[in-house]
Amino acid sequence: MPLYMDRHNLPGVTSHDVAEAHLKDLKVQREFGCIAMTYWIDEERGNVFCLIESPDKKAVVDMHNRAHGLIPHDIIEVDSNLVKTFLGRIQDPEPSRFNDASASTGIHEPAFRIMLVADLKDRLLFDCLYGPQKSSQLMRKFNLLVQQAVQHYSGDIIESNSEYLASFVSATNAVDCALNLRNSIHLPKVEIKIGLSGGFPVSGSKVLFGEAIKKANKLNFISTENKIYLTSSIKDQYKGKATMAFNSNRTIRILNTDEDIFLDHLMDLFQTSIFEQGNNMDKFCLKLGVSASRLYRNTIQLTGLSPIDLLSDIKLNAALDLMQKQNKNTSETSYALGYTNPSYFTKCFKKRFNVLPADFIKSLNSISV
């Protein structure tokens, strides 16, 4: 049976309220073919997340409506293994037994998590830049450092097949882990890229923790010069000893609320434009609702790149994926990304990565042989 997680926005909710509502769900669940497995509550932010096995989303809504009338604001289908990895469990924690006597206590476990995305700059080009042997050595060292750091700071590695994605309950542990990684990478000409973002399991995306992961990936992408990029909300939650790191823009780059919103809109707009021809900045200004000077100023301040250069960087990184995952050649890749001239694409690629696209493709082919 499918597994769903829903989100209820309930300002002022208490753990006692949710425990009673969960008990009511348990009493009527069989009428709707559901199993109300467990829940998480964030009293501070007024959010409740329920995990339910159900025939479909409608049955989840009908069960809640019949039990207590608290209709969920959002529902997504989830994978039990991912839920357990992110949140530690998929059932009520022992020794909790929900009955009339225990409803007054309930579960006191928030679902808010910090996502850390870590990668090495231009990692896909390592074989081409350094040769297979050195590339393999670099990646083994990086993999070991990440695994050790995440484990030491009580995080969980969610993905490691491309860049690393790790989840933390504590913002302090997440930031300290990021600082540990940054200070442990001593590789000539190799930069580490780290982005941190916090969020909830259900928040407008169809993917578990999708919004938080998406934001962490954006911050990771714009990370430069071994800086750690994070949002101001994570800084506000930090209670560790490395507060001095927040005062140095060389170590940590903190986005304020306005920068956070602008980056979201900018990156989403540019990502949807990578297959278009040209760089129509007037169109981007119109969609973002900003002047050309503000677009330039804000983008430089956030990323160190002009809007045109940032869009080019996004396109060229997309080119790496097209060549690696779809086996496209230089001409196919250039046309797919809106370049009208493969020679110009080759020039841009060489300037950005210091290798020719043909050499990168050749290195990919040598790996697959």
* Domain boundaries of the chain, sorted by first residue: 3-87, 112-255, 257-369
The Cα–Cα gap between 143 and 162 comes to 11
pLDDT of residue 98: 47
Eight-state DSSP code of residue 245: G
Nearest residue to 196 (alpha-carbon basis) of 238, 160, 162? 238
Q: Which two tokens stand for residue 29?
A: 């669940």
Instruction: Check if the beta carbon of residue 60 is closer than 8 Å to that of residue 52.
Output: yes
pLDDT of residue 338: 93
Model pLDDT for residues 205-226, shown as the tens digit of each residue: 999 999 999 999 999 999 988 9
CATH class of the domain defined by 3-87: alpha beta
Per CATH, which fold does 112-255 belong to?
Alpha-Beta Plaits (3.30.70)
pLDDT of residue 12: 92
Per CATH, which fold does 257-369 belong to?
Arc Repressor Mutant, subunit A (1.10.10)
pLDDT of residue 278: 75
The Cα–Cα gap between 89 and 220 comes to 28
Place of tokens 């909300």: 233
- Does 112-255 match 3-87 at the fold level? yes
pLDDT of residue 265: 95
Dihedral over Cα of 117, 122, 125, 129: its sign: negative
Nearest residue to 90 (alpha-carbon basis) of 28, 27, 4? 4
Q: Is 339 helix (H, G, I), strand (E, B) or coil?
A: coil
Model pLDDT for residues 45-76, shown as the tens digit of each residue: 899 999 999 999 999 999 999 999 999 999 99
Strand 252-255 to 228-231 pairing: parallel
pLDDT of residue 49: 97
pLDDT of residue 105: 60
Report the run of H or E that residue 177 belongs to, with start and end: helix 171-184
Q: Is 159 helix (H, G, I), strand (E, B) or coil?
A: strand
Q: Which residues of the chain have pLDDT under 50?
A: 96-103, 369
- Statement: the pTM of the whole predicted model exceeds 0.85: yes
